[in-house]
């Protein structure tokens, strides 16, 4: 039996945040920037940036949509596909295809060049695309790590039932109820897809001191101060407190929960590079321009 946590030990809502207006990333990803490293991303360490592509229909076509080869350095990009199918190739030889329920966890580390496109199958057939891309910072010491690519398929992501038939939780990274998610991470991170049935409440244990936020994907939740967080909204919670209580409205809710140990180091980001100083950003640009981050063959 899980005892309810004392109210005083719970994380509290810091604020509710709606992202920017929709804009296109390349010609494939209609996203809202929910936060980035120049704004809320500072408070949300180790999370730097989150782009959300809400469900968007694409007609069948011949032209592969997406983003041409571009670099990254100093962090990781985590792409969660909810609807539609994506293809990835990078300069480290990594690559793969992810569809609904799959996740791609790419470590840019010391530098990578990659391209991100709709899959050829999805392009040809058309359909609805829905995805999240989350950037996760690396400690200064890990920014020089070799690039790595993890394809986390739906079947390898454990699904756990929440108490009292309130819903279920998919463990992409971290752990819940002694089950571990498949993602290898550099610092302690929990990344969970949570679904709650209509009107249900659940309490999730989360580490004291961890940054914690949720992105609502479908339906809505009631925040501790009685407001409603709707699709596309980000609710940011206190680092203090060892648990998070979530209450679904009558529509139920699907949300992405991110929680991680903050990295207490300077964050200097510019475009696709996130380092610790402006000097390192300049070096990253030079390195990329000289071809030092490789290319996608
Ligand atoms: Mn990219």
Q: Quick check: 1 pLDDT over 50?
A: no
Average pLDDT over every residue of 203-230: 94
Judging by beta carbons within 10 Å of its beta carbon (0-12, 13-18, 19+), is residue 136 exposed, middle or buried? buried
Average pLDDT over every residue of 258-284: 97
Query: Which residues, listed in sequence order, are joined to residue 71 by a DSSP beta bridge?
Result: 113
- Mean pLDDT for the chain overall: 95
Tens digit of each residue's pLDDT (9 = 90 or more) over 21-63: 899 999 999 999 999 999 998 899 999 999 999 999 999 999 9
Give how far the C-alpha of residue 104 lies from the chain's centroid of Cα atoms, to the nearest Å.
Answer: 10
CA 71 / ligand 1 centre spacing (Å):
7
Q: How many residues does the chain have?
A: 297
The alpha carbon torsion through 263, 266, 272, 273 (nearest 10 deg) reads -100
CA 17 / ligand 1 centre spacing (Å):
24
Q: What pairing do the DSSP bridges indicate for beta strands 29-35 and 112-118?
A: unpaired
CA 243 / ligand 1 centre spacing (Å):
33
What is the pTM for the complete model shown? 0.96
Whole-angstrom distance, CA of residue 30 vs CA of residue 21: 10
CA 114 / ligand 1 centre spacing (Å):
6
CA 246 / ligand 1 centre spacing (Å):
32
Sign of the C-alpha dihedral, residues 7, 11, 12, 18? negative
Give how far the C-alpha of residue 74 lies from the chain's centroid of Cα atoms, to the nearest Å.
Answer: 16
CA 14 / ligand 1 centre spacing (Å):
30
Asked if 84 and 135 touch (Cβ cutoff 8 Å), the reply is: no
Per the structure block, which two tokens stand in for 81?
């596909």
Confidence category of residue 18, pLDDT binned at 50, 70, 90 = confident
Please name the residues in contact with 149: beta carbons below 8 A apart, sequence gap of 6 or more.
88, 90, 92, 94, 95, 96, 104, 105, 106, 107
Average pLDDT over every residue of 242-262: 96
CA 213 / ligand 1 centre spacing (Å):
22
Residue with tokens 């699904």: 159
DSSP collapsed to 3 states, 76-121: EEEEEEEECCEEEEECCCCEEEECCCCEEEEECCCCEEEEEEECHH
């Amino acid at each position: 039996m899980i005892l309810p946590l004392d109210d005083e030990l719970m994380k509290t809502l810091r604020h509710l945040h709606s992202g920017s207006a929709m804009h296109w990333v390349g010609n494939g990803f209609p996203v809202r920037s929910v936060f980035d490293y120049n704004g809320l991303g500072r408070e949300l360490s180790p999370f730097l940036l989150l782009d959300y592509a809400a469900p968007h229909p694409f007609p069948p076509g011949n032209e592969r949509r997406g983003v041409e080869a571009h670099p990254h350095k100093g962090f990781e990009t985590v792409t969660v596909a909810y609807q539609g199918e994506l293809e990835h190739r990078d300069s480290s030889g990594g690559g793969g295809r992810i569809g609904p329920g799959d996740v791609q966890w790419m470590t840019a580390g010391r530098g990578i060049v990659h391209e991100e496109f709709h899959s050829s199958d999805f392009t040809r057939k058309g359909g609805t695309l829905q995805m999240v891309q989350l950037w996760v910072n690396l400690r200064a010491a890990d920014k020089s790590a070799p690039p790595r690519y993890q394809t986390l398929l739906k079947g390898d992501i454990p699904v756990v039932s929440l108490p009292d038939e309130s819903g279920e939780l998919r463990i992409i990274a971290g752990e819940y109820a002694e089950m571990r998610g498949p993602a290898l991470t550099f610092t302690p991170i929990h990344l969970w897809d949570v679904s709650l049935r209509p009107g249900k409440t659940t309490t999730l244990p989360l580490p004291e001191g961890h940054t914690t936020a949720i992105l609502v994907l479908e339906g809505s939740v009631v925040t501790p101060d009685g407001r409603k967080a709707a699709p596309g909204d980000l609710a940011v919670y206190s680092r203090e407190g060892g648990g998070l209580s979530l209450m679904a409205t009558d529509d139920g809710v699907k949300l992405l929960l991110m929680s991680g140990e903050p990295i207490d180091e300077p964050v200097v980001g510019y475009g696709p590079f996130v380092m610790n100083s402006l000097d390192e950003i300049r070096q990253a640009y030079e390195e990329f321009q000289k071809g030092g981050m490789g290319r996608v063959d």
